[in-house]
Amino acid sequence: MPRVHVRDGDLGDLEDLQVTARPAVAGPRRRVGLSFALAGILLVLGPVAPVLAGIGERDGEIGVDYALQRFDADLLGETGGRWSLRAGRHETDQLQWEGQVMRGRVETTPLPGVERSVTLTLALVNLVLNFHPRAEVVPYVLLGVGLAKTKIQAVGLSSSDTGTGYQIGGGGRFFFGRGSVVALRVELAIPGGDAFEHSYFHPSIVAGLTFRIGRHRAPGALPAAIF
């Protein structure tokens, strides 16, 4: 009974209740001090608070990836490379807005010094739906819309056109361990764009790294550095 202070003889037979030498309860002044200390510790440890891998509400995300992209059959129909940068914010555990800028190029040289090339630049806003998010794997599907610039060159002639860009895709983030803020992002996507009075589609397979920005906390998890 650490919180009971009994005076000798006041309550009859109290043999079973031993009087404690000092009350265990801290006074108001000590309680305030303890709160300040606790708040200070939290402020200091906040940035390295226990986290769980995965990503969710209010988290930010930034990433870079590379894709092998099959350009539309009417734009050479060859496979080229594409880089992209992404940054976004998770409004809920499921819904995320994401901005993405990508640039892809394919070039063929049928004869030395004679080239055909396609350069595709897209700036998109993606709506990402994360489903069944777990600590280490966060699958998603996405739908994007924005602007697409298509530039073509062939045997010394060149043309360029800018129109609506769009994208549909899906994939997953695979975090490197339970405390990691870094994940491998793998995706299948079909970006496309309107140009030259046509619509072109470029199926792609994407791999890259993505970084969580924010405090995705989970009790009991190991501490890890957070951006």
Partner 1 sequence: MKILTQVLVVALLPACLACTGKPEVDLEGTWRGPWTAGMTAGSLEVTFGGKRAFGDMTLYDVTLIATGTSCTSGGDSGAGDRTAAFRQDDVHFAIQMAGSAAGDGIFLFDGALNGSREIDGSYRLSSDACPACTCGMGTSGTWRISR
Contacts of 37 (CB under 8 A, 6+ apart): none
Which position among 69, 100, 126, 150 is part of the footprint of partner 1 (CB under 8 A)?
Answer: 150
Q: Is 128 in the site for partner 1 (CB under 8 A)?
A: no
Q: How many CB atoms lie within 10 A of CB 106?
A: 21
Which position among 39, 41, 42, 114 is part of the footprint of partner 1 (CB under 8 A)?
Answer: 114
| Region from 50-58, 59-67, 98-106, 108-116 binding partner 1, contact rule CB under 8 A | 108-116
Q: Is 74 in the site for partner 1 (CB under 8 A)?
A: yes
Between residue 22 and residue 61, which ones bind partner 1 under the rule CB under 8 A? none
CA angle (150 as vertex; 67, 145 as ends), nearest 5: 70
For partner 1 (CB under 8 A), the number of binding residues is 22
Nearer to partner 1, 12 or 156 (CB): 156
Helix (H, G, I), strand (E, B) or coil at 43: helix
Between CA 120 and CA 156 the distance in angstroms is 18
Whole-number Cα distances in Å, 77 to 80, 194, 202, 203, 214: 9, 16, 9, 11, 41
82: left (phi over 0), alpha (psi -120 to 50) or beta: beta
Nearer to partner 1, 93 or 161 (CB): 161
Sign of the dihedral defined by the CA atoms of residues 89, 176, 190, 62, in that order: positive
Q: Is 75 in the site for partner 1 (CB under 8 A)?
A: yes
Q: Is 147 in the site for partner 1 (CB under 8 A)?
A: no
Kindly state the tokens that stand for 150.
């298509």
| Region from 1-9, 54-62, 109-117, 180-188 binding partner 1, contact rule CB under 8 A | 109-117
Contact positions toward partner 1, by CB under 8 A? 74-76, 110-114, 116, 118, 150, 152, 154-157, 159, 161, 195-198
